[in-house]
């Protein structure tokens, strides 16, 4: 009995001993977590915002596809629906559609961008927080492979191109031509072919975004676009780590060995930090030069044509003067446009020229604008790299502890929508996308017209045709066709916008940030080297500055801290290497 009590007492002491040890184990684990610092933000709000954008994209694609197919089936003669609205209303509606399209596509393709970032991470190829999404491909991951990127790019171009030919001037409605001259509203044809094309473009991007979300939702640690948060996630996942002795080495010095160095009062620019930037500038300035040449060419053709409807149709060139009116003008001496028809015979009236069917011209109309919009869409997509690099650098530079300026500190957790609205670069990019795609559509002015066929040899006057009903046009060997009226006064505005975009891009690429804080441009390893303490204060902020101890070390140290008062200004005359 005594032996049993002794065993029980011993067992109780062991349990008591284990209970006493357990708090120390938990405390030790907590201390390890404190040493590791802040956990990265998974950015669930951004994820939900992308899902909402995807939902809107799916709904819009279905609306466009269903309505477009319905109009194609029920209006086989015109391949669209006729409505009456003023020119101003049509221009405003087109602009609103482009704004909605830019919002929708940006939201859906953000999924594609995040998916690419972490696909590159898993392949150990992720260097920068920002990449050119459609021209950077993963080796294995399906939605980010080069061929899917090509599909996504084609759908993006198709979406923007179709909005340019969504509303057509219905000049084929001739039975009430004289009555319409006194009306403020003009007949407009809602292009069913363009509606279907828009639906296909949106549906293609929605499929790619859905594929990215479904196949990688468990493989994406964070949906945040914040470069600091991405760097912290990569550190905690074990891919990169802090390297001592590099507290003053920027992204431009990333290939140098760790060493002592003096701070630079001005940092390097994007052009030196990322080689791809120079090619983007070449592309944007090439687009600007083409945009300048376009109205010059149209003005020269307009002068040579005179008041004829197309080249080769005028017996004698009439007087001509340069005009800058927004509205299309065909009055004597002030013609400001040139007409391009899609049937070659309608342009030159040569017997050997081909004539396309109305349905073929409807498809060619969309494809023609795709060729024009394609170059611009690619250029604006590449501009995103410069904008996002500038955004990433701006987030990092908010951490600088500067005595002469208000140092708000940088945050690892940011509201993506608020950050986008407050970033002038993002606002400029968004406005450029919506406005430049819109102005191309307004400069081309697509329309449906009545064209004569090769067998039409009747000498009737246009006035006699004007009173012929649409149903009886076939008896006159006439057909409906598509044409573009390229207005050079509007193309001049497009050229000015292209120059502004290229100039802003050049400014972003050549701008050298001021201050001793090393530039990072969203380079993850550089951020991991510069940030030595990831813990944030109550507002989620950290500051960067001098952290040298007061014992007067010869080699100073710079780093981050959650307390603004714990970091000081950088001494430009001292060497820094750090720990």
Please give the backbone phi and psi of residue 169, each rounded to the nearest 5 degrees, phi first. -70, 120
Q: What is the pLDDT of residues 238-267, one digit of tens each?
A: 889 999 999 999 999 999 999 999 999 999
Q: What is the pLDDT of residues 453-469, one digit of tens each?
A: 544 444 444 444 444 44
How far apart CA 36 and CA 38 sit, in angstroms, is 7
- Cβ-contact 576, 557 below 8 angstroms: yes
* Of 71-75, 145-149, 316-320, 542-546, minimum mean pLDDT range: 316-320
Q: Which residue has the higher pLDDT, 147 or 419?
A: 147
pLDDT at 182 over 90: no
- The token pair that represents 11 in the structure block: 């067992």
Distance in angstroms between the alpha carbons of the first and the last residue of the chain: 64
Q: What is the pLDDT of residues 153-165, one digit of tens each?
A: 999 999 999 999 9
pLDDT value, residue 331: 63
DSSP, res 515 = S
How far apart CA 30 and CA 24 sit, in angstroms, is 10
Q: What is the pLDDT of residues 320-373, one digit of tens each?
A: 667 777 776 666 566 778 888 777 666 655 556 557 777 888 898 899 999 999
pLDDT value, residue 228: 95
pLDDT value, residue 387: 96
Q: If we measure between CA atoms, which residue out of 512, 520, 513, 505 comes closest to residue 277?
A: 505
- Cβ-contact 443, 490 below 8 angstroms: yes
192-216 and 87-122 helices, crossing angle to 10°: 20
pLDDT value, residue 37: 57
- Cβ-contact 168, 480 below 8 angstroms: no
pLDDT at 400 over 50: yes
pLDDT value, residue 116: 94
pLDDT at 14 over 60: no
- Cβ-contact 364, 194 below 8 angstroms: no
pLDDT value, residue 434: 94
pLDDT at 392 over 90: yes
Q: What's the CA dihedral at 304, 310, 311, 314 to 10 degrees? A: -70
pLDDT value, residue 361: 85
DSSP, res 253 = G
* Of 68-77, 219-228, 274-283, 340-349, minimum mean pLDDT range: 340-349
pLDDT value, residue 318: 57
- The token pair that represents 517 in the structure block: 């804080």
Mean pLDDT estimate for the chain = 82
pLDDT at 413 over 90: no
How does residue 315 score in pLDDT terms, banded at 50, 70 and 90? very low
How does residue 544 score in pLDDT terms, banded at 50, 70 and 90? very high
- Cβ-contact 49, 416 below 8 angstroms: yes
pLDDT at 75 over 90: no
* Of 5-9, 236-240, 304-308, 371-375, minimum mean pLDDT range: 5-9
pLDDT value, residue 84: 85
Label residues 270-285 b or e (16+ Cβ within 10 Å = b).
Answer: bbbbbebbeebbebbb
How far apart CA 205 and CA 116 sit, in angstroms, is 15
* Of 81-90, 397-406, 499-508, minimum mean pLDDT range: 397-406
DSSP annotation string for 467-506: TS-GGGGGGGTEEEEEEEEEEHHHHHHHHHHHHHHHHHHH
* Of 56-60, 230-234, 459-463, 474-478, minimum mean pLDDT range: 459-463
* Of 125-134, 149-158, 415-424, 544-553, minimum mean pLDDT range: 544-553
pLDDT value, residue 177: 45
How far apart CA 497 and CA 64 sit, in angstroms, is 30
- Cβ-contact 521, 388 below 8 angstroms: no
pLDDT value, residue 291: 95
How does residue 306 score in pLDDT terms, banded at 50, 70 and 90? low
pLDDT value, residue 34: 43
- Cβ-contact 211, 142 below 8 angstroms: yes
Q: What is the pLDDT of residues 96-112, one digit of tens each?
A: 999 999 999 999 999 99
pLDDT value, residue 5: 47
């Amino acid at each position: 009995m005594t032996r049993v009590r002794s065993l029980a007492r011993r067992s109780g002491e062991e349990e008591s001993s284990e209970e006493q040890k357990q708090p120390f184990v938990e405390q030790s684990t907590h201390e390890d977590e404190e040493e590791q610092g802040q956990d990265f933000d998974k950015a669930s709000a951004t994820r939900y915002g992308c899902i909402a954008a995807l939902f809107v994209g799916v709904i819009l694609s279905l609306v466009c596809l269903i309505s477009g197919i319905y109009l194609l089936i029920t209006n086989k003669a015109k391949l669209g629906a006729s409505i009456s609205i003023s020119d101003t209303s049509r221009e405003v509606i087109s602009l609103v559609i482009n704004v909605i399209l830019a919002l929708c596509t940006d939201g859906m393709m953000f999924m594609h961008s995040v998916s690419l970032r972490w696909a590159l991470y898993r392949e150990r190829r992720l260097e920068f927080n920002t990449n050119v999404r459609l021209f950077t491909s993963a080796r294995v991951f399906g939605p980010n492979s080069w061929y899917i990127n090509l599909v996504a790019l084609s759908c993006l171009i198709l979406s923007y191109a179709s909005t340019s030919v969504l509303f057509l001037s219905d000049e084929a409605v001739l039975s009430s031509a004289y009555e319409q001259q006194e009306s403020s509203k003009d007949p407009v044809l809602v292009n069913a072919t363009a509606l279907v094309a828009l639906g296909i473009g949106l549906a293609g991007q929605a499929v790619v975004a859905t594929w990215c979300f479904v196949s990688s939702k468990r493989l994406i640690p964070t949906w945040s676009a914040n470069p600091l948060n991405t760097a912290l996630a990569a550190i905690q996942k074990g891919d990169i780590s802090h390297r001592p002795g590099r507290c003053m080495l920027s992204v431009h010095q990333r290939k140098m060995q760790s060493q002592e160095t003096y701070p630079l009062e001005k940092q390097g620019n994007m052009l030196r930090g990322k080689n791809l930037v120079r090619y983007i500038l070449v592309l944007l300035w090439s687009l600007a030069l083409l945009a300048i040449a376009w109205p010059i060419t149209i003005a020269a053709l307009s002068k040579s044509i005179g008041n004829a409807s197309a080249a080769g149709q005028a017996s004698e060139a009439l007087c001509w003067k340069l005009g800058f009116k927004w509205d299309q003008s065909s009055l004597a001496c002030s013609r400001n446009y040139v007409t391009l028809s899609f049937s070659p015979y309608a342009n030159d009236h040569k017997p050997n020229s081909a004539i396309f069917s109305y349905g073929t011209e409807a498809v060619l109309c969309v494809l023609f604008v795709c060729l024009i919009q394609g170059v611009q869409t690619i250029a604006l997509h590449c501009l995103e790299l410069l904008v996002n690099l500038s955004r990433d650098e701006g987030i990092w530079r908010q951490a600088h502890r500067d005595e002469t300026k208000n140092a708000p500190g940088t945050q690892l957790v940011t509201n993506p929508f608020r950050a986008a609205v407050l970033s002038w670069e993002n606002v400029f990019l968004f406005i450029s996308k919506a406005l430049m795609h819109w102005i191309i559509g307004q400069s081309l002015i697509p329309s449906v017209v009545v064209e004569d066929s090769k067998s039409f040899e009747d000498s009737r006057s246009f006035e006699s045709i004007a009173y012929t009903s649409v149903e009886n046009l076939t008896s006159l060997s006439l057909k409906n066709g598509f044409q573009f009226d390229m207005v050079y006064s509007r193309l001049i505005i497009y050229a000015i916008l292209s120059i502004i975009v290229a100039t802003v891009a050049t400014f972003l690429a050549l701008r050298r940030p001021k201050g001793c804080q090393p530039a990072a441009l969203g380079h993850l390893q550089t951020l991991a080297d510069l940030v030595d303490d990831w813990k944030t204060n109550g507002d989620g902020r950290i500051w960067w500055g001098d952290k040298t101890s007061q014992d007067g070390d010869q080699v100073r140290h710079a780093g981050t801290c959650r307390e603004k008062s714990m970091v000081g200004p950088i001494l430009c005359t001292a060497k820094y290497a750090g720990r």
